[in-house]
Structure 1
Amino acid sequence: MGPPPVVTGISPKEGPPGTRVIVRGEFLGTKVQDLIGLTICGCDCLLSAEWKSSNKIIARSGPCKGRGDIIVTTRSGGQGTSTVQFRGYYETIGPMKESAVWVEEPPLENFVWGRRALSPTNYQQDDPLGLSVEGNDKKFPEDELVELFGESSGELTNEKFHPGWFLLQHHHATTMEDLKAGLAYLKRKVNSQKEGQLSFLKANVGSVMEQLDTLMLLKDQFEADVKIYGDDPTLKLEESIKRSMSEANKLFDDVLARRDKADATRNALALMQRYKFLFCMPINIEKNIKRGNYDLVINDYARVKNLFKNTDVDVFKKVLIEIEKRICALRILLRQKLEEMPFSLEEQKKLIRNLVNLETEGDPAWDAIDSHAKYLDKSITKCVNEHMLKLENINSDNSIHKTLKSVQINSKLLRINKSDENNVPPQISCIESICDIVIEQLPDLWRLGQCYFTGQLHVMVDTEKQAPFKNLVLSSMQHAMETMKSICGANVEAPWLLHILRCVRQMYASLIHLDLPSDALDIFGKFTYDLRLQCLVALFKQTAENVSSLYRQETWQIEYLNEDGGVTKLPYLFENIVVETTKLARETIVVCGPREGPLFSTTAHQTLYYNSIKNLFTSFARCLQQLAFSGSDEASDDEDTSVSQLVGSPTGYKSKGHKHQGPTWEQCLLISLSNIRYTLNTILPKMREFLKSQGYPDLSAAVDWNTDWTQLDTLDTAVLDAYLERRCDPLVGTIEPSMYLGGLEWDFDTEPTHLKPYAQEILANLIAVHAEVRRVAPALLKRVLSHIVETIAEELARLMSCVTQFRPAGIIQARTDITLLRNALMPYSTPRARNFFEEALDAIPKLNNKQDLVKIETLLLKVTTSMQLQISCLNCDVADKNTYTTTDGERVTIV
């Protein structure tokens, strides 16, 4: 169906009948056959229409008068509209005026004396001013003439002739000089008529000569008749007249006789016709029943009963019996139609009215109400059976799960894709059909009952049936609600549940306008409320599943550096999913429709909401856990070379021959720690404020944000322990082998000149860990290194306490090593670590010789100076977070 035609311009805008009009506009038809109608001022002009294009039509105006629209009708667009109007008017046609209308002229016949008749008398009178009006094509508006002169007229022969009207109508474009010349002509014409007979003869010499010729012709014709018929030609004329009168009388007598006979025949036929209606009544009833003209049958039946109800004629009684048989058959037919359904409300009213007029036994109106209610229940049951059959077929193909899972969940918004609309599961289409059935049939049932109790159906109203009618409506609504509720209880995905909610809300809104009782509306109101809760739970459940699968989108690229360390895009993806899901839930579920209550009005429903939100964060915690420990199997198979296990071996990097794509598992653990801390410290409070701003219940009232989310805290501890186990155990395990490398003990006499290799290796390994943590998550330096330093201090205290013999050189070496390590690791030492360092020093014998003490101080100063770079690496400003190194080795500065 195309757009309707629109007429936007015509040329000319006015004219008499037959004017050639050019119609311009839009959508005036795609071809000649598409144009099916054209009216100008209400006159059909299709026969004269000539279609040129979709923007142009040429036609001739019809016999219209006044202003009117130009309406074009096409097959593709239907009846159109017009923004302009055409004015039609009539004008008197003269012999010199061009016209598209045929001028009826009397035939130019010859008189008996051979002269032709004068010009026809219906021509327009000549202009009294003697001026030409051919240049005055543009007419003066007739409406303005009426406003100026009222009931006057511009016609010369009219009693209310007004010269001003005449001049504006015929000479509004004539110049003043021409009007003066016309006035002079009119004066001369009037004065010439006053000059006398001679002037009159001069002016009419042609007419006088014609009259003289006529008289001469009459004289010649009379003389010829005298020669033929004698001196008195009237005698034969008299005889002819008498014969004519005699023949006329004979003719009149025959006519009278025939008239009497016709009157008698007419009376007989009238009587026959009157009874013919009765005799033909049975056949007419059958014909009208087949055609569906029940009103005509009822009217004829009423007439027959009024005319022949008390007749004593046997023939009439037999005919009446036949008529009654057919009327009984009609009653049965109408009752069957009333029970068959479906019918519109007006058709039902018509059937009830017909049954009432036929004086049918019982209460046809109540039977119609009962039939309508049963048909509503049958329609719902039939709909469920049909769709469940489709569902069984799908189950037989083992594809129902695929059908229900065909809805794609968008990371930005949870909705049904266009491609999924063609793959609607049977459960969903069943609920849609039930909603359509309720919207289509329940209003008619309710209105039919209202018409019954208000007396509009012309039956005896039984007020005791109000309660049964209410039960019928309630049972029908309850049946529909329970059916939809049982279907929604199946395994239906969140997008389809939202689609169902929209359909149910549309149905519920249409029922609200019916002015149904509250207990009837509460049936669907409670169902709508429960469906909203079900949609909310399903929506958050589906979102939780999507959150759990976010690990597939982790790239391990640090997107942002904050106080918690380097953060990837994963927390932002989680935040976006939660935000968009809660927005969608607020717009489609939480928002209250007509006659709907708040969703979180009870404590139980608030708790349901709290658990749904908590489930989202729990799913994200599982996602982070899966990411953090996904590389543990591969890492267990690789040799860890980031911690040196031999004195002098390179630390911090793997061998050149080892190929590795992406960050190591240790780096993944650090990134996961940053993501966990960012989620706890930033995402959770931000989500709480966002949900509160969106109108959701305040989560702080039901959730302790510091203790309830223990899964993230536990995960944080587990990830940290995994990283420390990965880094700390190998580092500590190398201390004792490095300390006694080559079988050296502490009872040597060689003067020490530097730190022992184990101390240098401890510093080198800590620097490697420090570099790794600072490159990935600078904020975790204090937290990670403090654990490692504490373990190193404990191991040193244990090893020193196990030494059985020290010599002065060994004492100097041991005290120098432990003191330097204690001082270098002081920024990351905990009180427990400092106690272990003191225990290690206490386990080394003390030197009372001042010279040995000076040696220790000198050696300590020397070593500190030579290892200034290593010590500076450990003592660099941890708070410098504006610049960091990514996993790719790129230095990034945050402005």
Structure 2
Amino acid sequence: MAPPPIVTGISPKEGPPGTRVTLRGEYLGSGPNDLIGITICGCDCLLSAEWKSSNKIIARSGPGKGRGDIIIITRSGGKGSSTVQFRGYHETIGPMKESAVWVEEAPLQNLAWGSRRSLSPTTYQYEDPLGLSVEGNEKKFPEDDLHELFPEGALAAGGGPGPGKLTSDNFIPAWFLLENHHTTSFEDLKAGLAYLRRRVEAQKEGQLSFLKANVGAVMDQLDTIVALKERFEADMKALGPDPTAKAEQAIKESERQATELFREVLGRREKAEAIRNALGVLQRHRFLFALPSTIERNIRRGEYELVINDYMRARSLFGSTDVPVFQKVFQEVDRRIGALRTALLSRLREPVPAPLDEQKKIIKNLVSFEAEGDPGWEAIQARHQHLLHLLRSCKDEHLSSCSSSESLASPDGDVKSLRGMSPSKFVKTSNSASSQEFLGSSMGVQGVAPPGVLFVEALTEALWDHFPDLWRLGQAYFSGELHVPSNPSRHSEFKDMVMEAVRVFCDLVRGALLPLGGAERLLRRGQGDHSAGGGAWLPHCVRHVRRQAYEPLVRLDLPSEALDAVTSLLFDLRLFCMVTLFRHATDSVRALHRKESWRMEMDERQEGITDLPLRFESRVREVVQVVKECALVGERGEIPLAESTTACKELTAHVQALLCAFPQALEHLTFGKEAMMMQGGGQHSPAVSQLIGSPAAFDPYRGGDAACAGQGKQPPSWETCLLITMSNCAHTRAMVLPRLGDLFKKQSYPGATNSVPGQQWGPLSVSAGALESLERRIFEAYLEAKSDPLVGTIEPSMYLGHLDWGEPFPMPVDVRPYAKEAIGNMIGVHAEVHRVSPSLVPRMLSQIAETVAEELARLLSCVSHFSREGGLQARSDVCAIQEALGPYVTPVASSFFEEALEALPELKSEEDTKRVDVVLANFRARMRVQLICFLGAGLEGGKGI
């Protein structure tokens, strides 16, 4: 949070209301939108404020009086303080002051009692009441000090005369003396006081002293009045009470006789003068008489400015005339102006408003014509209602167009908390090729947009076409551009209009995706149901709402509440887009088992894998890129999903579901219904015995499978599929998941960038654990499928021909066939495993070696008696098998081999030892090629499971 603002300097320091004040200081806000309040002397001056920089603001002072602080309030710093003060005062309008009102120039009085004389304001000067000269007082006493000494006088003065003026209602003698005589000596002040007392005593003498001083003039006036009375009484006796009546009668008679003599001449003269006067009037005032036709012509041309100018000129000249003919013509002009006013009002109130510039002209013309009401506000209301009608009609039209279609089921499960989110309209494809492939292939985008997308498209176009004009018209109304006196109380009404329009737009867009029910669900066709591929439109919808709705509204500088509504819509839309894209990708990855071709290739570690891990990685990269572009990162003013705990949890859960879907697909390949049918139907390579009549040939491609049948190829055996799938698991853990971890870090996914070094991100570790668990299960299944048949053939092969170890038979020269068969079967397993995953050979054969050794120990421990020849033969067989499997013999297997040898009779002579050596030498010579398979291999990383 920024420091609170502080005002350290002002210019000027005082002035009447409306003074342009420059404020300087520190931390005065980071921009115009950061400034939320300015008070000067307790009056709000925010409307007149001009933010220049963080150190300078210009504002106009309000009607405050007296001294007061300048307080600035900002969003970032809060309420500030001031180290300086501004003094506001109201000016007194005098005779020499320019003013917009008439100022009465009352006659001024001198100090003499009873006499009055009019003085010119330019020559009148107040006489000093002390009778002292002020010529030596050029240096005035500081006015600021006077205000500090007499604060009550400064506040009481207001806009009238100061407390130091004699005419002030709040006259303060000390103020007067400091202001006019602060340099006068004390003796002079005492003399002035005596002079003032003498003048006051002189005023108390009254009218009697005045009469004594002017007795001569008073007696002359009385004599004149008496003479005038005597002369008037004499005239009344001589001429009667009315001496002018006879003269008046004689004059009237003379006038009558003259009129009779010159009646005709005077009549013709009057007529000629009337005609001449009429022609003169027509000539002088032809503008007025031609005005009706001129107005009609200009109206047809649309030149309303000329009509206004002519009308205002005529009204100023003839508006208050008493001439009947002028009145009649002006009434006709008024009638035509009234018709024009009515036509303009009708045009202004049309359901479809005119273009903004034309509407402004209409409003200005109506104001000039003094139309009743408030045309500017009527235009705003008409535009607001038209916009709401357009938004709601879009809904009705799209509902009727898709009323015959079936609604889609809304997603449920982990997106129930996201109800109320919505898509926006399709506008363009993603910029990246991977996004296009992902949207086109995995999402199943069709060429025609769903009805809900088209509906949102129409909504966005309606909002963008009409909302900016509504906002600009409102701004012009309140700024005075329309010449309409705005009503401050309508600010809140206009804000409610703006909020209603934005709220209706957001609600309809939300309703297009996740309505709760009813006919509105028809609009959701192809959007909310991820099974229909509608989620592929969501990235385009997010971009469209952002580009065509949010960014233009930001440029309009709307109230924060309106932008917050759209930001909330975008946040919900991005969150729902993210969830839907991940769910589509999860379903696509989970269904990858259908695309397994079993075409094996060698990876960087020279391990056999199919293209399934690469397909999985490609799907993950595609959805990660699209989610990053469209949903994860918000643009200017948008809320990043990473800052929302709920969004981060949703993101982590869906990433984990996506990464764990691949182990599920691999599990379906090995333990699914088709795999079990493949296993039960004999689609596995039988490691069986030649000695008991079963085929021992190793054929890795037997049977048939639907995935490969479509490509005209036979699938491998079930055991080979297990090995390939296990290699895919190992490759995914070792190669794919680390690359995806780097991808998540590069794309700044929440949690991935903050993971502990050396440890995988949570979803990655869960997926790695699932792969490792699946790999262990596959290993056990393969081991069971191979070791059980292999071990199961040892006993039947050993006792083939009713062998009895206790009976004498020829001395052994070679190992028995059952031992060679066991070694051959293990060679087959070795070849099958080595063909797919060489690194898996030690691990697999060591387990089989332990099983074979355990079986030999069991079989030989069950023999009750060995003949000399049987003991030598059994010892040769066990030593041959142990020697052949030497690289894979673990301590456990070695213990079993020792247990088997302990069950045999000990070699009692050197001849018996040589016989065993001869048998083993013959075995090595005859099985040299087979034994080469086991040479060079070790147990690095292969001991144990």
TM bucket normalised to smaller: 0.5 to 0.7
CA 1:845–1:466 in 2, change beyond 3 Å: closer, same or farther? same
C-alpha displacement at 1:549, in angstroms? 3.8
1:305, distance to aligned residue in structure 2 (A): 3.9
> In the alignment, what sits opposite 1:380?
391
Structure 2 Cα separation of the partners of residues 265 and 657 of structure 1:
129
1:566 aligns with 2:608: yes
- The question of whether the paired residues in 1 share the 8 Å contact of 2:499 and 2:562 is answered with yes
Q: Give distance in 1, aligned partners of 2:795 and 2:433.
A: 54
Q: Which amino acid aligns with 2:540?
A: H
Distance 1:846 1:266, change over 3 A: farther
The structure 2 residue matched to 1:634, chosen from 678, 681, 687, is: 678
* Residue 566 (structure 2) aligned to one of 524, 544, 555: 524
Cα deviations by residue, 1:675-731 (Å, 9 ceiling, x for unpaired): 110001111112112321233345345517555543212221232233223322221
**Judging changes above 3 Å, is the alpha-carbon distance between structure 1 residues 846 and 880 closer, same or farther for their aligned structure 2 residues?**
closer
Contact 1:543 1:581 in 2 (8 A): yes
Q: Alpha-carbon deviation of 1:368? A: 1.7
Q: Which residue of 2 aligns with 1:69?
A: none
AA of the residue aligned to 1:689: D
Residue 601 of structure 1 and its aligned partner are, at CA, apart by: 2.3
Offset of 1:799 from its aligned partner? 2.1
1:737 alignment counterpart: 796
- Contact 1:564/1:678 (8 A) holds in 2: no
1:607 to 624, 631, 649: 649
Partner of 1:446: 471
CA contact (8 A) 1:564 1:674 kept: no
Q: Percent identity?
A: 37
Q: What is the CA distance between 1:816 and its match in structure 2?
A: 1.9
C-alpha spacing 1:878/1:665, structure 2 compared with 1 (3 Å)? farther
Q: 2:363 matched to 1:341? A: no
The separation in 2 between residues aligned to 1:814 and 1:327, in whole angstroms, is 130
Residue deviations 1:395-432, cap 9 Å, x none? Answer: 3899xxxxx99x99999433667997861222112222
Contact 1:563 1:779 in 2 (8 A): no
So what's the TM-score if we normalise by structure 1? 0.61
Q: Distance in 1 between matches of 2:584 and 2:429?
A: 11
Query: Residues 512, 736 of structure 1: CA spacing in aligned structure 2 closer, same or farther, 3 A cutoff?
Result: same
Match of 2:538 in 1: 497
Match for residue 698 of structure 2?
653
1:423–1:276 Cα change, 3 Å = same
Q: 1:583/1:658 Cα in 2 relative to 1: closer, same or farther (>3 Å)?
A: closer
Distance change >3 Å, CA 736–CA 829, structure 1 → 2: same
Call closer, same or farther: CA 1:289–1:639 in 2, change over 3 Å.
Answer: closer
Local SS of the residue matching 2:643: coil
Does structure 2 conserve the Cα–Cα contact (< 8 Å) formed by 1:646 and 1:734?
A: no
Do the aligned partners of residues 823 and 307 (structure 1) sit closer, same or farther apart at CA in structure 2, a change above 3 Å counting? same
Q: Which amino acid aligns with 1:830?
A: T
- The 5-angstrom pairing of residues 790-829 of structure 1 reads 790-829=850-889
Q: Larger deviation: 410-419 or 676-685?
A: 410-419
Task: Please say if residues 652 and 769 of structure 1, whose CA atoms lie closer than 8 Å, have aligned partners that are also in contact.
Answer: no
* Conserved 8 A contact 2:607-2:839: yes
Amino acid at match of 1:728: S
SS at match of 1:395: coil
For these two proteins, the number of residue pairs brought into alignment is: 613
In structure 1, what residue type is equivalent to 2:669?
L
* Contact 1:779–1:878 (8 Å) recurs in 2: no
Name the SS of the counterpart of 1:556 in structure 2.
coil
Distance, in Å, in 2 between the alignment partners of 1:323 and 1:337 is 21
Q: Secondary structure at the match of 1:392?
A: coil
Q: Is the 8 A contact 1:642 1:768 kept in 2?
A: no
Distance 1:651 1:265, change over 3 A: farther
CA contact (8 A) 1:414 1:495 kept: no
Deviates more, 1:431-440 or 1:409-418: 409-418
Query: Pick from 668, 678, 693: which aligns with 2:721?
Result: 668
Shift of 1:499: 1.1
Say whether the 8 Å CA contact 1:752–1:812 is kept in structure 2. yes
Identify the residue that residue 414 of structure 1 maps to in structure 2.
Answer: 436
* 2:930 is the alignment partner of 1:870: yes
Shift of 1:476: 1.7
Counterpart of 2:786 in structure 1 is 727
Distance 1:397 1:532 in 2: 21
Structure 2 distance, partners of 1:795, 1:466, is: 94
Counterparts in 2 of 1:744-763, with a 5 A limit?
744-750=803-809, 751-763=811-823
Code of the residue aligned with 1:522 in structure 2: it is D
Supply the distance in 2 between the matched residues of 1:842 and 1:267 (Cα, whole angstroms).
Answer: 155
What's the counterpart of residue 37 of structure 1? none
Counterpart Cα distance in 1 of 2:357 and 2:702: 90
Superposed CA offset, 1:235-254 (max 9, x none): xxxxxxxxxxxxxxxxxxxx
In structure 1, give the amino acid aligned to 2:501.
S
Aligned to 1:467: 492
Alignment correspondent of 2:130: none
Q: Which residue of 2 aligns with 1:856?
A: 916
What secondary structure is seen at the aligned counterpart in 2 of 1:414? helix
SS at match of 2:512: helix
Gaps in structure 1 of 5+ consecutive residues: 1-260, 399-403, 882-895
- Please tell me the residue identity of whatever aligns with 1:730: P
Residue identity opposite 2:793 in structure 1: T
Q: Distance in 2 between matches of 1:494 and 1:482?
A: 20
Say which is worse superposed, 596-605 or 742-751, in terms of deviation: 596-605
How far residue 471 of structure 1 moved from its aligned partner, in angstroms, is 2.2
Provide Cα deviations, 1:449-481, integer angstroms capped at 9, x if missing partner: 221222111111212222222222122222212
In structure 2, distance between residues paired with 1:845 and 1:721: 36
Structure 2 runs not aligned, ≥5 long: 1-271, 410-424, 515-523, 529-533, 705-712
Q: CA deviation at 1:280?
A: 8.4
Quickly say closer, same or farther: Cα 1:500–1:342, change in 2 above 3 A: farther
Alignment of structure 1 residues 184-333 onto 2, 5 Å: 271=282, 281=292, 294-295=304-305, 298-299=308-309, 301-302=311-312, 305-306=315-316, 308-312=318-322, 324=334, 327-333=337-343
2:402 aligns to what SS in structure 1? helix
Q: Is the 8 A contact 1:824 1:871 kept in 2?
A: yes
| Alpha-carbon shift at residue 276 of structure 1 (Å) | 10
1:645 counterpart letter in structure 2: S
How far residue 316 of structure 1 moved from its aligned partner, in angstroms, is 6.4
The 1-side partners of 2:429 and 2:282 are apart by 83
Corresponding residue for residue 556 of structure 2: 514
Structure 1 residues 767 and 397: alpha-carbon distance in aligned structure 2, compared to 1, 3 A threshold: closer
- Report the counterpart of residue 176 of structure 1 in structure 2: none
Q: What CA distance in whole angstroms lies between the structure 2 residues aligned with 1:389 and 1:836?
A: 81
- Structure 1's 712 and 640: CA in aligned 2 closer, same or farther, altered over 3 A? closer
Tell me which residue corresponds to 1:715: 774
1:578 aligns with 2:620: yes
Q: Secondary structure at the match of 2:640?
A: coil
When residues 658 and 581 of structure 1 are mapped into structure 2, their CA distance, relative to the original with a 3 A threshold, is closer
Instruction: Work out whether residues 878 and 901 of structure 2, in 8 Å CA contact, stay in contact via their aligned partners in 1.
Output: yes
Tell me the secondary structure at the aligned position of residue 593 of structure 1: coil
Distance 1:753 1:706, change over 3 A: farther
Take 2:407 and 2:604, find their aligned partners in 1: how far apart are those partners? Answer: 55
Spell out, residue by residue over 1:27-76, the C-alpha distance to the aligned partner (whole angstroms, 9 max, x if none): xxxxxxxxxxxxxxxxxxxxxxxxxxxxxxxxxxxxxxxxxxxxxxxxxx
> Shift in Å at residue 391 of structure 1?
3.0
2:804 is equivalent to residue 782 of structure 1: no
Distance in structure 2 (CA, Å) of the matches to 1:552 and 1:657:
19
CA root-mean-square deviation: 3.9
Give the Cα–Cα distance (whole angstroms) in 1 for the partners of residues 739 and 447 of structure 2: 40
SS of the residue 1:462 aligns to: coil
Partners in 2 of 1:842 and 1:324 — Cα distance? 133
